[in-house]
Structure 1
Amino acid sequence: MTATLGLYVARRFFGIAVATFLAVLSLVVVVDLVELLAKNSAGNADFLELVWMAVLHAPSVTITAAPFTVLLAAMVCFAWFSRSSELVVMRAAGVSVWALIGPALIVAVLMGVASFAIYNPVAAAFAQRFDALEEANFGRSSSRLSVTGGGIWLRQGGAEGQTVIRARRASESVRQLWRVSVFRFGADDRFEQRIEARRAVLEKGLWRLSGALVWDVGGSDLGDLGEAARNTEPQSHDEMTLPTNLTPEQIQESFAPPRTISFWDLPGFIDVLEQSGFSSSRHRLHWHALLSAPVIFAAMVLVGASFSMRHARFGGLGAMALGCVLTGFAYFFLSDVAGALGASGAVPVLLAAWGPPAAAVLFSLGLLLHLEDG
């Protein structure tokens, strides 16, 4: 196949893929806007701000829908070639089906690389901003937990004020913390008490602290924490309790969602999670799923070509579209099941992330070989 023909196929596929992506993006924005308007019954945000929130949320959704978008683009592109008789001319000129699909595969792989290297960081930044606006306008509770290089930080509140807990390390279930520092603030946000403990165990409605030193600083200003602690004699307790309204499930759900973390920042975040004693399966699975995007996109092109380049010749356009869409849904079902198993630790993360794309590639190659080469 000449370079001119290859560029023509690549340009046609890329144009259809961009148009399909923009259509999906617009649809997601409209659906999100309707949902936000329903949430905004109290009128906390004006219409333009709701539109902006819908725009911010849409990129993270389109990343999830990207494989299906590529599948639709491939099906439309090759069906176009079949219906316009361009496919017949190309095949009569001696162009094999593999040479015809090759330019579209190259474009799909490049799009997959761009999706995690460029588009994902933008979508993650937009998702963070969307979460902040959602919290400000609709009162959605912010994360109770953050993880840094210095350990983990927990926040809990109540009628008596806020409590901030820092720990160097935690158990995977977050039921035990080690090397714990507790900072208690009153209802007026003045610092009241500092606690240093060897270990904290989360029980129903309370933290049980072991080997604790307690400084009562009596409502100091934030800028005087160090001075207040130095001027106060600590009280020693072999064991003490601290009321809490947190549960292990609430704490684990408070991790920064993987969609709000850039592809390039995920490895560092995963390292910090593991050093702190937490399971990083969900975030590692998300990172590998992003990394496998070129393989997934290539598989979707092969699936789309398998159906559209065969059935359209005999006028089976409806059967072609139905078979392609059902195959796409089957892939998403397999991917979701594998993702759930990988996140729970039932199967290795690598198998959960790369198994469905590899299966899709093998299936589509087998289908193409059967339909095209007999």
Structure 2
Amino acid sequence: MRRLDRYVGWTVFSSIALVLVVIVGLDAIAAFIDESDDISETYSFLQVSLYIGLTLPGRFYEYIPFAALIGCMLGLGQLATTSELVVMRASGVSIGRLVWVAMKPALLIAIMGFLLGEFVAPKTDQWAETRRALAQNPGESFAGRHGIWNREGNTFLHFNALEETGVVHGITLLQFDDKLRMDSSLRARLATYKGDYWTMEDVVQTRFSSWQTTRKIYPTLRWDTGITPELLTLVVVEPDQLPLSELYRYSRYLQLQGLDSEDYQLALWRKLLQPAAIGGLVLVAISFIFGPLREGTLGFRIFAGVIVGIVFRTSQDLLGPASLVFGFPPVYAALAPVLICFLFGMLLLTRAR
């Protein structure tokens, strides 16, 4: 039985890994084509390649659920096509055992994906965004195409790029009063974090009043703020790519600032529930193989897997904004698609028996 478990498990694992490599490869090629439109003297072909390479861990993490669904359908479908599943069932192997054997490699990939998304993807995504911003906006002080927006009280802030060493490039500060009238604007070429404050360089500050505008230039200027490089790092990376601890910490920071934190709470719950989501999708894939797709062709299985994956992702994308509009907790938006997958898969498996 152990040899049989290893055989089925390896078949499913290799299929998932192959599908994941193909999907991420196609996505990386599409991203490279899109980035190639921005190639210039400062943003070269090599830098575009480096940017795509650094974003690969995040792409792998994003597509693991989709790859687990299609890969499991292909792996078990291959065993069904060669009648190996029929022989296993005839020899007394239960559907429950086959489900568990097929689920183990998927859960192993889910754990690997969780570690990738928790410890690798956030750092590589930050490096990628920083290097692209610096290459596309060398030496610029004003807002570039790729930047970071943040808010602290009545001050709106924009940064072109953030280095890992705590240096921020291209700072713009817009200060408003309680009636949302602009009091002043400040632009600096860069700022360096000194532990509990920032030192800005090449600063231009403009103050507005009802009768005049005054402008001052400073070689250096001290900036006291509660914003830290660690906090800006959280803004650089998309919420879905942040580690759990940082998602929780930044959502709390937004709540203290009186800002909406639902996007980060939703990302937090999605990340926590991703292993369960992978398990639910794999259960649907297994139920299809033992049910309606037992005699299906390879092409039809891929088509069915793509449709299920699109429906699952679309439901996630719709329920997330719906939680913001209708005010129900983000955990429900993240949990509902997972529960539906488990219920649907269990229903099909029950009928397959």
TM-score range, shorter chain: 0.7 to 0.9
Q: Secondary structure of the equivalent of 1:164?
A: strand
Amino acid at match of 2:15: I
Q: TM-score, normalised by structure 2?
A: 0.75
Match of 2:315 among 329, 334, 354: 334
> Does 16-25 or 360-369 show the bigger shift?
16-25
Structure 2 counterparts to residues 53-202 of structure 1, below 5 A: 53-139=51-137, 140-145=145-150, 154-155=156-157, 164=173, 184=186, 189-190=202-203
Deviations 1:36-55 (A, max 9, x none): 11222x34322222111112
Deviations 1:271-322 (A, max 9, x none): 1111111111001101111111111111111111122233554355554443
Amino acid at match of 2:87: V
Amino acid at match of 2:51: M
Output the CA distance in 2 between the equivalents of 1:162 and 1:112: 39
Match of 1:351 among 327, 332, 343: 332
Q: What displacement does 1:263 show?
A: 2.9
Q: Secondary structure of the equivalent of 1:39?
A: coil
Output the CA distance in 2 between the equivalents of 1:185 and 1:332: 41
Q: What displacement does 1:87 show?
A: 0.5
1:363 is the counterpart of 2:344: yes
Q: Secondary structure of the equivalent of 2:251?
A: helix
Deviations 1:87-121 (A, max 9, x none): 11110111111110102223323332332333343
Closer/same/farther in 2, CA of residues 176 and 225 from structure 1, 3 Å limit: closer
> Does 181-190 or 269-278 show the bigger shift?
181-190
Closer/same/farther in 2, CA of residues 224 and 343 from structure 1, 3 Å limit: closer
Equivalent position of 1:10 in the other structure? 9
Equivalent position of 1:45 in the other structure? 43
Q: Secondary structure of the equivalent of 2:148?
A: coil
Equivalent position of 2:33 in the other structure? 34
Q: What displacement does 1:14 show?
A: 1.7
**Does the 8 Å CA contact 1:165/1:183 hold for their aligned counterparts?**
yes
Q: Secondary structure of the equivalent of 2:244?
A: coil
Equivalent position of 2:195 in the other structure? none
Q: What displacement does 1:193 show?
A: 7.8
Amino acid at match of 2:21: L
Amino acid at match of 2:117: Y
Q: What displacement does 1:220 show?
A: 4.9
Amino acid at match of 1:143: I
Closer/same/farther in 2, CA of residues 367 and 271 from structure 1, 3 Å limit: same
> Does 82-91 or 256-265 show the bigger shift?
256-265
Listed as ranges, the gaps of 5+ residues in structure 2 are 138-144, 160-169, 190-200, 225-234
Deviations 1:190-245 (A, max 9, x none): 47689xxxxxxxxxxx899xxxxxxx99655436789xxxxxxxxxxxxxxxxxxx
Structure 2 counterparts to residues 177-256 of structure 1, below 5 A: 184=186, 189-190=202-203, 219-222=217-220
Closer/same/farther in 2, CA of residues 143 and 277 from structure 1, 3 Å limit: same
Q: What displacement does 1:23 show?
A: 1.8
Deviations 1:238-283 (A, max 9, x none): xxxxxxxxxxxxxxxx785314532332111111111111111001
Listed as ranges, the gaps of 5+ residues in structure 1 are 195-205, 209-215, 227-253
Q: TM-score, normalised by structure 1?
A: 0.71
The alignment covers a number of residue pairs equal to 312
Percent identity, please. Answer: 22
Amino acid at match of 1:164: L
Closer/same/farther in 2, CA of residues 154 and 360 from structure 1, 3 Å limit: same
Deviations 1:126-148 (A, max 9, x none): 2212221222233424213267x
